[in-house]
Amino acid sequence: MHIDLNERTAVVSGSTQGIGFAIAQALAGAGAHVVVNGRSPGSTGAAAERVREAVAGARVTPVAADLATAEGAAALHEAVPEVDILVNNLGIFGSRDPLEIDDDEWRRYFEVNVLSAVRLIRTYLPGMRDRSWGRVISVASDSAVVIPAEMIHYGVTKTALLAVGRGFAKAAAGSGVTVNSVIAGPTHTGGVEDFVAELVGADRPWDEAQRQFMREHRPLSLIERLIEPSEIANLVVYLSSELASATTGGALRVDGGYVDSILP
Ligand SMILES: NC(=O)c1ccc[n+]([C@@H]2O[C@H](COP(=O)([O-])OP(=O)(O)OC[C@H]3O[C@@H](n4cnc5c(N)ncnc54)[C@H](OP(=O)(O)O)[C@@H]3O)[C@@H](O)[C@H]2O)c1
């Protein structure tokens, strides 16, 4: 398969590190002009530089904007008025006793994980429809379908994101714009690396440590290791391409078989 995104402009929310950064790098590798986003000029500038180092000739624009706010979304829109590929990657997570999560914390999770995506879809979908081509991809999680007791607030926002994707796919019906969600499983990001070290110790090689972590703490994984961010990015690049023109309204898994279900 040959994927050429040379004529496309892509925005990846929350892409200065982790999965978002891998997606930005992979889209740039496929030729897209990529907008990397984070909250500060320092982190976005450094991420753009890292993409340029990794991908010869990459076209990357850093835009610092807090996308948990309407002002941040408006600032991004002003900086980048037209977008062909929107990747709603921004998301926060953390373990909390569910009985101790107060209303403000619930609202914060909703603002960052759900409304940030809704605002950007509202911002960019009309232009995509007018041009008869567009891709919207939101990064959900296994926690959307297997709600963890210690992360109910997170799981709920990711379930909501799946509904947002399905609903907006209907709103885009027949327009040439596809809207999908990617269900990412346990992934090897910086935060997760610290978590693994905390649970199984930092005194052994990474591969051994992560496999022990998966055996003991994520036994449902069928690949018995963490997913690399680039593996999530591969599916996002495919969904962003011409080749995925008949896939819309879907929730596609890159979870290493973690969710014990045949569908989605
Ligand atoms: N890690 C996993 O195992 C896993 C598994 C399944 C799904 N996911 C999902 O994958 C996505 C990415 O997760 P990750 O672990 O790669 O994230 P991460 O490493 O925590 O990175 C978060 C990114 O978001 C940016 N960010 C945070 N708040 C922001 C805001 N208000 N406005 C704009 N940017 C903001 C950060 O940039 P600055 O700090 O520079 O602002 C950073 O680039 C999330 O939606 C997450 O739920 C992750």
Across 200-226, average pLDDT: 92
Ligand 1 pocket: which of 12, 15, 40, 93 to mutate (most atoms within 8 A of CB) = 93
Radius of gyration of the chain (CA): 18
pLDDT at 259: 95
Q: Among the listed ranges 50-64, 195-209, 226-240, 244-258, which one has the minimum average pLDDT value? A: 195-209
- From 109, 124, 154, 258, active-site residue: 154
Q: Give the Å distance between the CA of 121 and the centre of ligand 1.
A: 18
CA of 175 to the centre of ligand 1 (A): 30
Query: Could you tell me which residues come within 8 angstroms of residue 42 by beta carbon, excluding any fewer than 6 positions away?
Result: none
Segment (H or E) for 208 = helix 206-217
Average pLDDT, integer, range 138-149 = 96
Query: Where does the pLDDT of residue 195 fall: very low under 50, low under 70, confident under 90, or very high at 90 and above?
Result: confident
- Of 13, 16, 199, 217, the one to substitute when testing ligand 1's pocket (max ligand atoms within 8 A of C-beta) is 16
Residue with tokens 């990412």: 184
What is the side-by-side order of every strand in the sheet holding 134-141?
59-64, 33-38, 9-12, 85-88, 134-141, 177-184, 251-254
Percent of the chain with pLDDT over 90: 91
Active site annotation includes 154: yes
Task: Return the best residue to mutate from 69, 89, 90, 162 for the ligand 1 pocket (most ligand atoms within 8 A of CB).
Answer: 90
- Binding pocket residue ranges, ligand 1, CB within 6 Å: 14-20, 37-40, 43, 66-68, 89-91, 93, 112, 139, 141, 184, 186-187, 189-192
| Least confident span in 61-75, 188-202, 245-259 | 188-202
Q: pLDDT-based confidence at 263, cuts 50/70/90? A: confident
Does residue 256 register a pLDDT over 80? yes
* pLDDT above 80 (res 180): yes
Cis before 264 (ω within 30):
yes
If pLDDT is split at 50, 70 and 90, which confidence band does 170 have? very high
Compute the average pLDDT of residues 187-206.
Answer: 90
Q: How far is CA 143 from CA 90, 152, 155, 213, in A?
A: 15, 8, 5, 18
Number of H helices, E strands in the chain: 9, 7
Helices (H), 8-135: 18-29, 41-54, 70-79, 103-110, 116-130
**Identity at 191, one-letter amino acid code:** G
pTM recorded for the entire structure: 0.98
On average, the pLDDT of the chain sits at: 97
Atom of ligand 1 nearest to the CA of 16: 43
